[in-house]
Amino acid sequence: MGKCLIVFTRKYPYSYGEPSFQDEVPYQLSCFEKVIVLSQDVSKGETTTRMPPKEVDFFNTATTSRRMGRIKDKIKCLRWSVRKNEAIESDWKRIKGNPVRRVFLWTFEERCQRLISEAIEVLRNYDFSAYDEVVCYSYWFFANVRVAIGISEYLKAQDIKYVRVVSRAHRYDLYEERNKLNYLPMREYLLDKVDAVYVCSRNGAEYLKQRHPSYQDKIDVGYIGSLDCGLANQEKDKVFHIVSCCRVVPMKRLERLADALALIDFSCKWTMIGGGIEGNKYYEQIKCYVRSVLAEKKNIEVEFTGALAHDDVFDYYRTHYVDVLINPSESEGLPAVIMEATSFGIPIIATDVGGTTEIVIDGENGYVLPEDFSNDDLSAAICHMCELPENDYFEMRKHARSIWEENFNAAVNNTRFAHRIFAGIEERDCPYV
């Protein structure tokens, strides 16, 4: 009868976000009889921004606007001060004596219960008894996985005997110290209830194992990867071309790149790919800052593209010669933008955060800076890249592509991952993997 996969996303295929997930879907369809995608962090009535394959059933589960849903969660969360469940009780020691964490936990659970109810309204229309097994797959190790666990319990209550829960983990849903409360809810509860967690980097997997040693056997690395779109334009320009590609948010520290470029005397061009999220106020602030810092630098040209669709970014790399991609971020999981750039053979300058050093090998396909780098550190790395002898530089481009081919080719990684979640973690060494 085959197996059914239920996927819990935040945005896909509505709004923006989770671009790498779109590349996974065809490989999931090759394994599963049915694939259902539930998008749970969008507003009612939002239109799709990407169209899944026709074989995929996809739903926006929202019953109101995203903002109104969150407001109601904050109002109704106080009921958890007197009402308890296993999930809430699992974190009692971690919230005891900390009222801010306590309210955060209550709001988190209220939100998750709402999302579970919204998901059930969609899923009650399916006959899951027709499948040999149902796999609930959360793209994030946060609210989505709590919902996936809730849906697995709902299905088991409907006499669906074979149900598994698996999750990916990335950055904000993984590194607790990156949360302003130094706290993420229900870590032990979630690990206890899932069958497997696939972390996007070795760094992240080791982090999770060290913090939760009782669940080491459930935690593994699951690299994402990017599509093979061929090599970048090989016709080198006279002007050294720098690209940054990211959501324009404070964590990405793009102002530091402007500060470093202010120290450079040779001619170069900086293309900033990416826009703001949920309003463009910060994006406009950064543009003003960049223009003011570089106003007297006649040798520096700056191009703001705004947000580009995934395919448009690839088209840009194909049609423009890019000397280096720079990612000065203060926090990462394993950056998809670096995977994508290296697939085109573009060298990287990036900070040593998260799993970045798993794809950027210092001196081979780029340069790695300390997390707390100085402006002089970054400008020196840029100058060093620009001044490399031609043969050394093109060796670096070859290494960028070869490291990507070895570890971050989406066709390879997505095939492996689809078989792993199909077969179950106990068969991770099956011939398909």
DSSP string, 171-189: STTT-GGGSTTS--TTHHH
pLDDT beyond 50 at 356? yes
- Give the model's pLDDT for residue 229: 86
User: Is residue 433 a contact partner of residue 417, using CB atoms and an 8 Å limit?
Assistant: no
User: 3-225+411-427 has which fold?
Assistant: Rossmann fold (3.40.50)
Give bridge partners of residue 5 from the DSSP assignment: 35, 135
pLDDT beyond 50 at 74? yes
- Give the model's pLDDT for residue 278: 54
- Write the pLDDT tens digit of every residue in 114-134: 999 999 999 999 999 999 999
What does residue 2 show for φ and ψ, rounded to 5 degrees?
85, 175
Q: Which of 232-236, 286-290, 295-299 has the lowest mean pLDDT?
A: 232-236
Note the pTM of the prediction, 2 decimals. 0.88
Mean pLDDT confidence for 13-24: 87
- Give the model's pLDDT for residue 237: 77
- Give the model's pLDDT for residue 63: 95
pLDDT beyond 70 at 425? no
User: Is residue 168 a contact partner of residue 174, using CB atoms and an 8 Å limit?
Assistant: no
Q: Hunting for tokens 């990405």 — which residue is that? A: 252
pLDDT beyond 70 at 194? yes
User: Is residue 355 a contact partner of residue 203, using CB atoms and an 8 Å limit?
Assistant: yes
Q: Which of 16-25, 96-105, 227-236, 382-391 has the lowest mean pLDDT?
A: 227-236
What does residue 346 show for φ and ψ, rounded to 5 degrees?
-95, 125
Residue 47's Cβ-side half-sphere holds a number of Cα atoms within 13 Å equal to: 1
Q: How confident is the model at residue 433 (pLDDT cuts 50, 70, 90)?
A: very low
Q: Any idea of the CA torsion for 239, 245, 248, 253, to the nearest 10 degrees?
A: -70
Q: How confident is the model at residue 152 (pLDDT cuts 50, 70, 90)?
A: very high
Residue 67's Cβ-side half-sphere holds a number of Cα atoms within 13 Å equal to: 1
Q: How confident is the model at residue 429 (pLDDT cuts 50, 70, 90)?
A: very low
The hierarchical CATH code for the domain 240-408 is: 3.40.50.2000
Helix (H) or strand (E) holding 220: strand 219-221
- Give the model's pLDDT for residue 298: 92
Q: How confident is the model at residue 391 (pLDDT cuts 50, 70, 90)?
A: very high
Give the residue range(s) of CATH 3.40.50.2000 domains in the chain. 3-225+411-427, 240-408
Tokens representing residue 352 in the block? 């040593």
Distance, CA of 305 to chain centre? 22
Mean pLDDT confidence for 140-161: 97
* Number of other residues whose CB lies within 10 A of the CB of residue 197: 27
Percentage of residues of the chain with pLDDT beyond 70: 97
Average pLDDT, the chain: 92
